[in-house]
Chain A
Amino acid sequence: MTEESLVGAGRRAHGPAVAAAKARRWGAFYYAEQVLRVMKGYTWSILMYSVGQPVAYLFAMGVGLASLVDTGNAAIGGVSYLVFIAPALLVSAAVMTAANEFTFPVMAGFKWRRTYFGPHASPLTPGQIAAGHIMAVTLRLVLQSALYFAAVVLFGASPSEWGWAGILVATLTGLAFGLPLMAYSASITEDKGQFALVMRFIVMPLFLFSGTFFPLDNLPPAVRWVGWISPIWHGTELGRVLSFGYGEPPLLTVLHVAVLAGMAVTGWVLTRRRFALRMGQ
């Protein structure tokens, strides 16, 4: 093909071959741009959420509740209660955001607004549309977690110099929980309130029983498994190691990373497959 890009030489579009080559290469970024533009419309509420939530939680739990429980308890690593829960709150906030961004917008894309089907008719592939959505949400998670971490620092709750890495841990945890959920969202063809159930019976229990507010060992052995399968627990423990050198066997730390990465990758693969299936019919 002898097509040349005519952009700049007049106001002509480049030819189909150029468009297809660019889309094959950068398609996921093009779609991410769309998702970010839509998010931009919600800048104010996203900001309020990202700043307001940490301040409220850190203050209520870390200052209010802490006044009752701060007894220099060795079970929480010998640090103040605020320091102990800060990584958990950071991680949980990312998971909550992921739970929202990978459910309702996916349903909107396939069903409510059918917004995925616009780009589907363009050179983009279903896998790129999924990837673009994921990339945009990842960016949101990084920014939100950075703001959250800034609040943690202001509250003086991140003693280690590695605490900032909690931003990455929170983002990874958001993806570990969010991507399998996204695959599920992409498989729903009829809205019967499934997402409300996910929030109430999966997100909330995980938030409460993942060693968030107290060490997992404090739970009866019969329910400790909730924590072990919970990305929030793995993310929280990892965050604690980074934030204040929480004592745990190094192998367990490696396991946290492996579990989180494994869940995220599996979720991504399943999501891609779902998107391709649903858009190829």
Chain B
Amino acid sequence: MHNHALTSSGMLTGDPQSGTVISAANLVKTYGDAAAVDGISFSVPAGESFGLLGPNGAGKSTTMKMIGGVTRRTAGQLSIMGLDPDTHGPEVRAHLGVVPQQDNLDEELRVRDNLLVYGRYFGLPMSYLKPKADELLEFAQLTDKARSKVDALSGGMKRRLTIARSLINEPRILLLDEPTTGLDPQARHILWDRLFRLKEQGVTLILTTHYMDEAEQLCDRLIVVDKGRIMAEGSPAQLIREHSTREVVELRFGSERNATIGAQLEGIGERLEVLPDRVLVYAHDGESALEQVSARGLRPLTSLVRRSSLEDVFLRLTGRSLVD
């Protein structure tokens, strides 16, 4: 990949003053009576990695589709690079690279041809596309698969090919909808590494995820979304600071006893969360909280002291766990 300067064409066509590339105000999308997105507002400056974290059905994908200019909003304002996707669909989409939740590669074409064909949709000439396709295949670590049929690729490879495809027009904004869902840990890490490189090159990343580790790894800032609304907004560290304690003690007493023993833990730490499979004790000092548990004569089957994560933030905000 070339390391493109931020002055790349199109970059400054949004809002040059603030450098905002995406702004949404009171965004609403309803299907029949149901509101998938129910009044979401946010704005994203150029070069930021912005995440939408939430469970399945929270309205993340619908928000992404509205940003991507493929779904019309029901109400609210939306501007991408200063353009309204409802009136300037092709112009908005020309600015973007899109990695959809479900791969929609052309399985009947070969790997490299998928990139060439996609580049044609942007009116790019073959003289540009051929070297670019090779460059992107290398970036996606798929050079030796260039002539393979797409069917022959693993899930992680298909995902990387989809990302390579989304970069064919050298977009400055990349939309990634659940980029690593369904991938094994190794494939996820390779993908994160590639995304991180793009971020280093100044590409604005907008991604949805229901994995808190992914959000922590990739996002400068995120909104926690549930039932179509924003529950909280901030950097991962900020959110944890505001909505959780520094550490968490996870105690397992066996599924039968978690609830009853939970009552006996009252007063330890800042806050307790009794879940069917474990009890969470939120405390600034996990070790000393654990000592207090022992001092009360309670013997958990397993215990673990860890740092707070976005999962805890989500649990606190919604009373539900993120991945069901």
Contacts and interface: CB of A to CB of B under 8 A. Distances in A.
B13 A1 contact: yes
A114 interface: yes
B170 A118 contact: no
B317 to A, nearest CB: 29
Nearest to B122: A19
Q: Is the interface of B mostly helix, strand, loop or mixed?
A: loop
Interface in B90-131: 90-91, 93-96, 98, 100, 102, 104-109, 113, 117-118, 120-125, 127-128, 131
B276 interface: no
Given A17-B94, A280-B71, A117 B104 contact: yes
Interface centre among B70, B71, B123 (most CB of A within 10 A): B123
Given A30-B120, A123-B121, A16 B108 contact: no
Nearest to A116: B104
Interface in A90-145: 113-115, 117-125
A20 B91 contact: yes
Interface centre among B91, B113, B120, B128 (most CB of A within 10 A): B120
Contact of A22 (B71, B123, B168): B123
Interface in A28-66: 30-31, 33-34, 37-38, 41
A281 B74 CA distance: 11
A7 interface: yes
Interface in B121-174: 121-125, 127-128, 131-132, 135, 165, 168-171
Contact of A121 (B100, B106, B128, B135): B100
Interface residues on A, range: 35 or more
A22 B90 CA distance: 10
A143 to B, nearest CB: 20
B9 A4 contact: yes
B76 interface: no
A125 B87 CA distance: 12
A29 B269 CA distance: 66
A33 B117 contact: yes
Contacts of B169: 13, 16, 19
A125 B10 contact: no
B120 A125 contact: no
A162 interface: no
Given A8-B127, A117-B104, A122 B93 contact: yes
A22 B9 contact: no
Given A13-B128, A17-B10, A20-B94, A123 B122 contact: yes
B51 interface: no
Interface string B63-75: 0000010111000
A18 B123 contact: yes
Given A13-B128, A125-B89, A280 B122 contact: no
A258 B115 CA distance: 42
Contact of B121 (A117, A124, A281): A124
B93 A123 contact: yes
Contact of A118 (B9, B88, B95, B118): B118
A-B residue pairs, 3 tightest by C-beta: A22-B123, A15-B9, A122-B121
8 contacts: A15-B10, A20-B91, A23-B90, A24-B90, A33-B117, A38-B109, A118-B104, A121-B96
